């Protein structure tokens, strides 16, 4: 089943004609209604009329997360604030989060693209979707929610946590579709096993997962434990939220809703545009968003675009699963974590050196974070009781900053490696390739 056959199956020529028309419209709207873009274009002596072909997108400036923070909170809105009926934010890595605003038309668009993606997974109006993604300022839970309602499916907005309750709900309510992060899904399966629940006892038919990087082995393990296919979901707050791209039943890449989000791949170092099948940084432009048009947003996610035909019948371009980042952000249990957040917490405590290292591992099913922190010579020579107290204090500060528990390891001065260039703050030991 295809949700929107007209949009998802149109020819490449038709798609590019539509994309150009919408690109010209969004550039004009951004120039006329968003001071940030007006200033940016004017500084480059660029006008909307300069966009005559899709290739002309290379004339347009990139937008970064820092640009969005600089106009916090409402500086990127292209409509009066009263027309924004919903806002979400990303995590604030330097004290200021990225704000994403939605008009009624934008919520309808979000519902539409997620309805397409859920349909790719086989979801229909007869399904019961248990949504464990978080509801709140993050976009995760809401995108799935809106798409499911668009289809007419029943949504259980249980959100994150309450793991044993999740298993009980799954069994009692006859859940047919689960939505979770890969690592939480594996944890859920362990608890289900402890509760004596096996896949044959459930009504599950599909799983949607995203918000963190994963391996093919991890997907296979999830599918083995739950006895159903698991489909990758991709999205980001700055562009819309989940629903930008989702896997179909072929599980050979994620179809991007490219009639609404124009994708590019660039070389992260040179910003040179790369062609199809080339691995690089994903750049996205919103083509139909009303409240907050975003032009050439550098996602920092590493992937490639594939334009070959798909056996599912859709002609939408496919992107590979994300296998890395071009910056120092890491996704841990679905949460974006930056070294700057760790540093911010450490700077609040006297007696610590400005040298630290973040080590991310996946020893079993869930990601774990260890933070090695150099102490001053005086503190390191102190009694054990004092060291334990400082360790707990640091862990508390970091958890308050990033929302995740970490294990802090205090190390002696000058024991962490030094670098003459950019310090290596993050060591990701998870096998995600």
Give residue-wise pLDDT tens across range 34-70: 999 999 999 999 999 999 999 999 999 999 999 999 9
Please give the Cα distance from 179 to 205 (Å, whole number): 12
Please give the Cα distance from 394 to 249 (Å, whole number): 45
Q: What pLDDT, in 10s, does the model give residues 369-384?
A: 999 988 877 777 767 7
Please give the Cα distance from 252 to 125 (Å, whole number): 25
Residue in the block written with tokens 């999205």: 235
Give residue 94's pLDDT.
46
Give residue 420's pLDDT.
34
The answer to whether the CB of 57 falls within 8 A of the CB of 285 is yes
Q: What number is the average pLDDT over the span 317-330?
A: 82
Asked if pLDDT for residue 83 goes beyond 80, the answer is yes
Other C-beta atoms closer than 10 Å to the C-beta of 16 total 15
The answer to whether the CB of 60 falls within 8 A of the CB of 295 is yes
The answer to whether the CB of 180 falls within 8 A of the CB of 154 is no
Give residue 78's pLDDT.
98
Whole-structure pTM over 0.85, yes or no? no
Q: What number is the average pLDDT over the span 411-421?
A: 66
Radius of gyration of the chain (CA): 23
Q: What number is the average pLDDT over the span 78-104?
A: 87
Indicate the pLDDT class of residue 433, thresholds 50, 70 and 90: low
Q: What number is the average pLDDT over the span 283-298?
A: 98
What's the CA dihedral at 28, 29, 32, 36 to 10 degrees?
A: -100
The answer to whether the CB of 408 falls within 8 A of the CB of 374 is no
Q: Give percent of the chain with pLDDT exceeding 90.
A: 63
The answer to whether the CB of 25 falls within 8 A of the CB of 232 is no
**Torsion over CA: 330, 235, 323, 219 (sign):** positive
């Amino acid at each position: 089943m295809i949700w929107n056959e007209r949009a998802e199956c149109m020819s490449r020529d038709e798609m590019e004609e539509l994309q150009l028309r919408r690109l010209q419209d969004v550039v004009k709207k951004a120039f006329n209604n968003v001071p940030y873009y007006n200033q940016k274009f004017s500084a480059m002596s660029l006008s909307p009329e300069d966009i005559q072909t899709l290739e002309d997108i290379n004339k347009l400036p990139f937008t970064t997360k820092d640009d969005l923070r600089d106009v916090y909170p409402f500086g990127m809105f292209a409509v009066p604030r009263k027309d924004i009926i919903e806002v979400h934010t990303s995590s604030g890595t330097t004290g200021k989060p990225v704000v994403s605003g939605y008009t009624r038309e934008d919520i309808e668009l979000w519902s539409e693209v997620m309805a397409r993606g859920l349909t790719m997974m086989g979801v229909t109006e007869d399904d019961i979707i248990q949504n464990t993604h978080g509801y709140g300022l993050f976009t995760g839970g809401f995108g799935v929610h809106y798409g499911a309602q668009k289809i007419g499916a029943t949504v259980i907005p249980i959100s994150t946590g309450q793991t044993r309750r999740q298993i009980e709900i799954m069994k009692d309510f006859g859940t047919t579709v689960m939505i979770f992060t890969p690592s939480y899904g594996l944890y859920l399966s362990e608890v289900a096993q402890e509760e004596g629940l096996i896949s044959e006892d459930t009504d599950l038919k599909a799983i949607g997962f995203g918000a963190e990087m994963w391996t093919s082995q991890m997907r296979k393990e999830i599918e083995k434990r739950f006895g159903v296919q698991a489909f990758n979901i991709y999205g980001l707050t700055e562009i819309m939220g989940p629903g930008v791209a989702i896997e179909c039943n072929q599980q050979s890449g994620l179809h991007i809703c490219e009639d609404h989000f124009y994708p590019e791949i660039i070389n992260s170092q040179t910003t040179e545009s790369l062609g199809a099948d080339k691995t690089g940084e994903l750049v996205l432009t919103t083509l139909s968003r009303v409240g907050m048009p975003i032009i050439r947003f550098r996602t920092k996610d590493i992937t490639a675009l594939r334009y070959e035909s798909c056996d599912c019948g859709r002609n939408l371009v496919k992107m590979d699963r994300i296998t890395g980042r071009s910056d120092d952000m890491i996704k841990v249990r679905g949460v974006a974590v930056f070294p700057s957040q760790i540093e911010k917490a450490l700077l609040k405590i006297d007696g610590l050196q400005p040298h630290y290292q973040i080590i991310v591992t996946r020893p079993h099913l869930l990601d774990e974070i260890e933070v090695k922190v150099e102490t001053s010579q005086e503190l390191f020579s102190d009694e054990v009781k004092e060291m334990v107290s400082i360790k707990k204090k640091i862990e508390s500060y970091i958890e308050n900053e990033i929302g995740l528990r970490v294990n802090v390891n205090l190390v002696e001065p000058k024991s962490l490696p030094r670098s003459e260039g950019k310090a290596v703050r993050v060591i990701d030991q998870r096998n995600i390739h």
